[in-house]
Amino acid sequence: MNTAINAGIQSAGFKKYDYKNIALNARLNNGNIESNGSVNDPNLQLNYSATANLQGKYPAIDATLILDTAQLYALNLYKDTVNASFMAYVKALSLDPKNLDMYALIDSSKINFKNKSYSLDTIALKANTSDGNNNLSFNSPIADIKANGNFEYDKLSASVMQYADKYYNITDTVIANGSPQQISFEGLIKEHPLVKDLVPALEYNNIDFKGSYTSAGEDSALNLSVNLPYLVYNTNSIRSGSINIATFNEAINAQVAFDTLNVNANRFFAAKITAKAMGDSLSVDVATQDDKKTDRYSLGATIVKNDEAYLFSLKNNLLLNYQKWNVANNNKITYSPDGILVNNFVLSSDSAIISAASKENILNSPINISIESFDIKNIAALANSDTLLASGIVNAKFSLSEFDKKLPAFTGNAEI
C-alpha cells in the first residue's frame, strides 16, 4: 500500500511556545518510508531527510538532520541562554542485537552558553558484529567508551540483575533460558569546560573505568573498577578515590575508598566503604581516620533478606569520634510489610548507653527506647568540625507505638 503525506503546519504549540512554519513530507510503501521536512521558526531552524525500512523486527534507518539554529531559552527548553547548531547523521543497516551494523555522527557542533561559545569535535558512535561478537565505540570531546563481546544490548541489563540476584535478592523477575551474555568495556570521562560551565559547582579530573561481565561465570564473572583522582561538588570533595566491584569466594565484593574526603567543613582520611553480598546477606563496613592515621569512625552492619522481611544487625565494631562502643551480640531489627520488631538493640560506651527493644516479641509491639548520658558531639562532629556548635549530654526515655498509623505515637521525655 502506498501512502503520501504532504503537510504544512503554520503553528504548533509545545511547552508554551508556538512553533511556526513546519513542513513535513512522507511516502509510505509497504513498510518503507521516505521523508523530509523542515522547521523555519525564528528560534528553531532545521531540515531533515530520512529513509527507513520497518518490515523486519528491527528497523533499518538512514537519516540526516541539519540544525541551523536552536535557541533553547526562547523555546522554553532551558532556564538559561543556550543556542546550538550541528549536523547529525545516522545509518543503521541492522539494529538486531545479534547482528549490529550502525554508525551515528554529530559534527560541526557549536554551542553558545551564557554568551560563551564552544566548538565541539566530532561525536561518533559505531557498532558492528564480527564472528559473533559485538564491537561498540563511542568517541566525543567529553567521553570515550568502547565495548566488545558476545552480548545483546536489549538483554544485558536484565542478565546482570539476574546474576546479582543469586547473591542478594533484588528482583522477583526470573529469566527462563536466557541467552549467555559476555562483555568487556573501558572508558574515559574527560575534563571539558562546557561541563563545568553547565554545572558550575562541579570540578573533576579525568575519570577512567573498565569492567567485564560473563553471565555463565561464577567467581570473577563481574568486575568494575573506577578511578576518581579529583572530584568536587559544592563544598564536598574527594581525592584519590576508587570504586571496585568483583565477584570472588562465592560473593559480590565492593569497595569505595578515598584518600581524603571533605564533607562541608569536615575532612576525613582513608575513608572506606566495603560491602559483601552472598546468600541473601549484605555485610557493610564504613571506616575513616584522621590526619594522623588514627581510627576516628567505624560502623558495621548486616542486612539479611528473608522472603519479604529484612533483618538488620549492627556489628561490634562501632567507633564514634574515637570512642569505642560495645554492641550487643544478638541485636536485631526486623522490618517487613507486616511491621517492625526490635530485639536487644543495645549500644554502650564507658559513659553512655543507648537501648531499644520491642515490649513483646511480636511485630508492631511498642518499642521502648532509652538514652543515658549520650554526648551529642560524637555525632555532631560528622556534620561540623566545630563541636561547640552542637554539644550536650542527652538523657531520654520514650516509647513508639501504633505503627499501623501514618505517624507512630510518641510518649516519653528527653533532656539535654
Mean pLDDT by 10 residues, the chain (416 residues): 86 94 93 94 97 90 96 94 95 91 95 90 94 94 96 90 88 75 96 90 96 86 96 94 94 95 87 94 95 94 93 95 93 94 94 93 94 81 56 87 89 84
Q: Are the C-beta atoms of residues 162 and 169 closer than 8 Å to each other? A: no
Rounded CA-CA distance 157/179 in Å is: 13
* pLDDT score at 74: 95
Q: Render pLDDT for 119-166 as a digit per residue (tens, 0 to 9).
A: 998 999 999 999 889 999 999 999 999 999 999 988 999 999 988 888
* pLDDT score at 351: 85
* pLDDT score at 382: 66
* pLDDT score at 381: 65
Q: Which residues pair with 73 in a beta bridge?
A: none
Q: Which residues pair with 331 in a beta bridge?
A: none
pTM: 0.85
* pLDDT score at 238: 94
Q: Render pLDDT for 173-212 as a digit per residue (tens, 0 to 9).
A: 777 667 899 999 999 999 999 998 889 899 999 999 999 9
Q: Are the C-beta atoms of residues 270 and 259 closer than 8 Å to each other? A: yes
